Structure 1
Amino acid sequence: MSLTRFKISAYLRSHRIVQPFVGLLAVMIILYSSRVAVGQELPSYADSAALLVPVFAWATRGLLDTEPDVQRLISITAVGRPGREVASGLVASVAVSCGLAFLALVLPLAIGFRAVPGTAVLIGGLALHVLSVLTGTVLGALSSRPILPDPATSALTMLGGYVAILLLSLAPITWLTVPIISWMRAAGQDAFLSRSLPGLATVTVFWCSIALITYISLRRTRP
């Protein structure tokens, strides 16, 4: 826990949080420049979740890149096992992205919606942003410096991965990848929470788990 707090503190002091925060504000401005009509709140939350995946990936990549390589090795030595350092970085990344996701959920209630939506819409929006945080976290982790030391390659991999996910999720077969496009399509349908969300969440968690296992395996050889 102390290492997690250290990583978050170092990230905030480096001011790298400003970059994904600006990205978040840009998405909010695009989506809520005009107030969302009554009944369209959940689809707008789905659009927000889809567009914020690279923002969360950016935040994760920035946090994991904050520590110099030597400092990261010192952290591994301090906690005793490499796995603890890896877990601390992931938990810190999720915490930062959850903070950004909270803003994405709350800001529309103040400035984006014509009326405050019901509980079902809020639960659906929360669930979609949780899936977005998971997707962005693993995407950012796989493109972080411990995996891809070259900054240009890292950035291109992160953005290219997001574009690839979008293109694959256009296919009619939902399980091919994280179904980002299906998030947006399903949010406008009836009974989203009971009919569509469980399946979409299962596919998303499955692919995020595969990506997470890949990241952890790579970190064993690239501390």
Structure 2
Amino acid sequence: MNNSITKAILAITFLVICTFSTVSAQVLPTTTGVNLFCKGSDLTLPAPPAGADWIVKYSATQTTTPSTGVILASGNKIAAADLNTGYYYLSSKSSTPGSCESELQEIPVYVLQPLVVNFTPADFCLESPLAQVGAVTNPDATNIPDLAYQWYTVTGGVETAISGATLKDYTPSAPATVGTKTHRLKVGYVINGNKYCPQWADHDVTVSPKPVKPTITPGTITGTATAVTF
């Protein structure tokens, strides 16, 4: 008898824990059906059904009873300033008095915070290229540890990818081309093999020519030994 009661209690406890975990789940970049947004982007819904309005509510965690109302701009847009990671719940209701509200549609949203990208430009002689050392701050490293890197040269606002330069640091090949050229390091999040929300940094890098070979003629060097007789 006691054994049966113990099993029943354990089963109920397990069910409660599973239910709590499901209901309290937070949105992650890998959540099924998640909608990814770069920080600063609006969420724009399609137009509501004719004669009806959208109703949107928000919850930081998954729930069946969302209570935080969301004000829509132009009737179908969540402004970037109001868009947060979490669950949005969408329903519609006719403008006709006495109409019913539809069932809720759950929309998981994950807002990607901006990466902070920079690199230290290092000028060099054309025969001795120096590493251009990147520096990246990932504000979401816990949930999105993988990043994609690409180096470019930029001329007249047009970027050209440097073949094979896909690491945080980049060392140009020798011999380099003499002159000053803008270099760009672009970095983005990698989620399920796709790249998102790139940020970049630009700096000028100057490549100096090799100095001209010295041409010193005999007789211009002083201090040499002088022939003597004795």
- TM-score bracket, normalised by the shorter chain, equals under 0.3
| TM-score normalised according to structure 1 size | 0.25
Greater relative contact order structure (CA < 8 Å, 6+ sep): 1
Rg comparison, structure with higher value: 2
TM-score, normalised to structure 2, is 0.24
Richer in helix (by share): 1
